[in-house]
């Protein structure tokens, strides 16, 4: 996994283009966000076929100590949902960039990816550069 391939939002979501699927991306939350939330116990995600715009609330994530909204870093249509999170939401804590992905999205405006941060810029934002 090369985090240089990912793009990041100021709300601590990541977006990664899907290899070989032009216009599809996978979305999740960062390791930093998962650590800040603590033990994740439940995730509510949109249904396949749901459409949203960048900035829309697309679900919630519940940890032992808090509940937080999930925001769409890009606009698109949900093509797939990580069903594993229904029974194992804690995988987000142990594997946020691989097994803990949330949704696969077909982008409606691929140029929005340009407005997201690189890994280095994200590390700088969270003070770990």
Domains of the chain are 3-112 (2.40.50.100)
- Residue 124 is predicted with a pLDDT of 96
- Residue 128 is predicted with a pLDDT of 82
What proportions of the chain, in percent to the nearest 5, are helix, strand and coil? Answer: 25, 35, 40
Can you point out the beta strands (E) in 30-74?
40-44, 51-52, 57-63, 67-71
Counting every residue written for the chain, the total comes to: 129
What's the whole-model pTM score?
A: 0.94
Extract the residue ranges of the chain whose pLDDT is less than 70: 129
- Residue 19 is predicted with a pLDDT of 82
Asked if residue 31 lies in contact with residue 20, where contact means CB atoms within 8 angstroms, the answer is no
- Residue 20 is predicted with a pLDDT of 75
Q: Using one digit for the tens of pLDDT, what is the confidence trace for 3-16?
A: 999 999 999 999 99
| 36 vs 77: CA distance, rounded Å | 28
């Amino acid at each position: 996994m090369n985090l240089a391939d990912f793009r990041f939002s100021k709300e601590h979501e990541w977006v990664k283009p899907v290899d070989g699927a032009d216009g599809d991306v996978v979305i999740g939350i960062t390791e930093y966000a998962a650590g800040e939330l603590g033990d994740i116990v439940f995730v509510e995600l949109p249904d396949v076929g749901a459409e949203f715009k960048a900035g829309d609330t697309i679900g919630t994530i519940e940890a032992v100590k808090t509940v937080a909204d999930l925001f769409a870093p890009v606009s698109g249509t949900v093509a797939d949902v990580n069903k594993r999170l229904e029974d194992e939401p804690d995988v987000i804590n142990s594997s946020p960039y691989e097994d803990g992905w949330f949704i696969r999205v077909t982008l409606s405006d691929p140029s929005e990816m340009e407005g997201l941060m690189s890994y280095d810029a994200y590390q700088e934002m969270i003070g770990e550069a």
